[in-house]
C-alpha cells in the first residue's frame, strides 16, 4: 500500500516506521524539519517538509495515488482539514484522523471522519486495568465505545446458564471456549468452571456484568 502520514511526532514516526517495516510505501509530511529526527535511522520512506495543506506538498507526497492517509499531528484542526481534503478532494480510499483533544471529537464526527482518540481510549483502558483485573479487554472498536472482553468462568458460576451473564441490553455473546473448542453460546448454554467467554459490550454493559459477577462471588463466599 501507499500510505501518507501527516505529522512526524512520536505517534506519526512510530506509525510510519511500523508501516515501512511491513513493506508498505510510506511518505511522511511535517513542516518542522527536526520532527523527522523521530524516525529511526533505517527508515527509508519518503520525507516531505512543508505544510500538509499545501497542494504542492501533497503532490510530492503522492496523494493522487495514495491508498491511505493518516493525519496524526497534535492539532485537531489540522488533522480534520487534512483528512477531509484527502477524502473529498483527492478521493483517498482510506482516511484516518487523530483526535488529540476529546472535547473536539464532534468536529471529526460532523465531517464523517474515521477517528482515533488515544487520549479517550488510553484513559478508559487505564481505568479498567486499575480497577478491574477480573475481565480483560481483547479488542477495542472505535475509541473504546464497544469492546470485546474475555471472562474466565469461576467455580461460583459453574452450572449456571449463560443468560445470567447477559442481563443487560449492551452485552452480546461472541463465543465460549471449553477445553480448546469454541462455540457460539445460546442463552441456555450451561457454563463450566474454566470456560472462557468472549463478550461484546459497551463500557456500561461490562460494568453491569462486573457487578453481577461480584454479587454472585459474595453470595457464594
For the chain, what percentages of helix, strand and coil (3-state, to nearest 5) are there? 40, 30, 30
Q: Residue 219 — very low, low, confident or very high, per pLDDT cuts 50/70/90? A: very low
Q: What are the tens digits of pLDDT across the range 69-86?
A: 999 999 999 999 999 999
Query: Is residue 166 domain-shared with residue 195, that is, in the same domain?
Result: yes
Please name the residues in contact with 80: beta carbons below 8 A apart, sequence gap of 6 or more: 71, 97, 107, 108, 111, 113
Beta strands in 23-170, from DSSP E residues, in sequence order: 25-30, 46-49, 68-71, 94-98, 114-116, 135-141, 146-152
Query: Is residue 112 domain-shared with residue 145, that is, in the same domain?
Result: no
Instruction: Please tell me what DSSP assigns to residue 191.
Output: P
Q: Specify whether the CB–CB gap between 149 and 201 falls below 8 A.
A: yes
Does the pLDDT of residue 130 top 70, yes or no?
no
Boundary (domain end) residue, out of 118, 149, 179? 118
Query: Is residue 112 domain-shared with residue 34, that is, in the same domain?
Result: yes
Per-residue pLDDT at 142: 74
Boundary (domain end) residue, out of 101, 118, 135? 118
Which residues form the domain of 22?
2-118
Q: What are the tens digits of pLDDT across the range 176-188?
A: 999 889 999 998 9
Query: Is residue 111 domain-shared with residue 139, that is, in the same domain?
Result: no
Average pLDDT in the chain: 87
CATH number for the domain harbouring residue 139: 3.30.70.1450
CATH number for the domain harbouring residue 54: 3.40.50.720
Boundary (domain end) residue, out of 84, 118, 152? 118
**Ranges 124-133, 150-159, 173-182: which has the least confidence:** 124-133
Per-residue pLDDT at 97: 94
Amino acid at each position: 500500500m501507499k500510505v501518507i502520514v501527516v505529522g512526524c511526532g512520536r505517534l506519526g514516526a512510530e506509525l510510519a516506521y511500523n508501516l515501512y517495516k511491513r513493506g508498505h510505501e510510506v511518505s511522511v509530511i511535517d513542516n518542522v524539519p527536526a520532527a523527522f529526527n523521530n524516525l529511526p535511522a533505517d527508515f527509508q520512506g519518503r520525507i516531505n517538509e512543508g505544510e500538509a495543506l499545501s497542494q504542492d506538498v501533497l503532490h510530492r507526497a503522492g496523494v493522487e495515488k495514495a491508498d491511505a492517509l493518516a493525519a496524526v499531528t497534535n492539532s485537531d484542526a489540522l488533522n480534520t482539514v487534512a483528512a477531509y481534503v484527502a477524502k473529498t478532494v483527492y478521493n483517498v480510499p482510506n482516511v484516518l484522523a487523530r483526535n488529540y483533544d476529546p472535547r473536539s471529537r464532534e468536529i471529526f464526527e460532523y465531517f464523517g471522519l474515521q477517528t482515533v482518540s488515544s487520549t479517550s481510549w488510553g484513559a478508559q483502558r487505564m481505568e479498567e486495568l486499575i480497577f478491574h483485573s477480573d475481565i480483560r479487554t481483547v479488542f477495542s472498536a472505535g475509541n473504546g465505545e464497544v469492546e470485546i472482553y474475555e471472562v474466565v468462568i469461576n467455580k461460583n458460576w459453574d452450572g449456571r446458564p449463560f443468560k445470567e451473564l447477559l442481563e443487560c441490553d449492551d452485552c452480546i455473546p461472541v463465543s465460549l471456549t471449553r477445553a480448546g473448542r469454541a462455540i457460539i453460546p445460546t442463552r441456555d448454554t450451561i457454563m463450566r468452571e474454566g470456560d472462557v467467554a468472549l463478550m461484546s459490550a459497551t463500557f456500561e454493559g461490562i460494568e453491569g456484568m462486573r457487578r453481577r459477577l461480584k454479587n454472585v462471588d459474595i453470595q457464594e463466599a
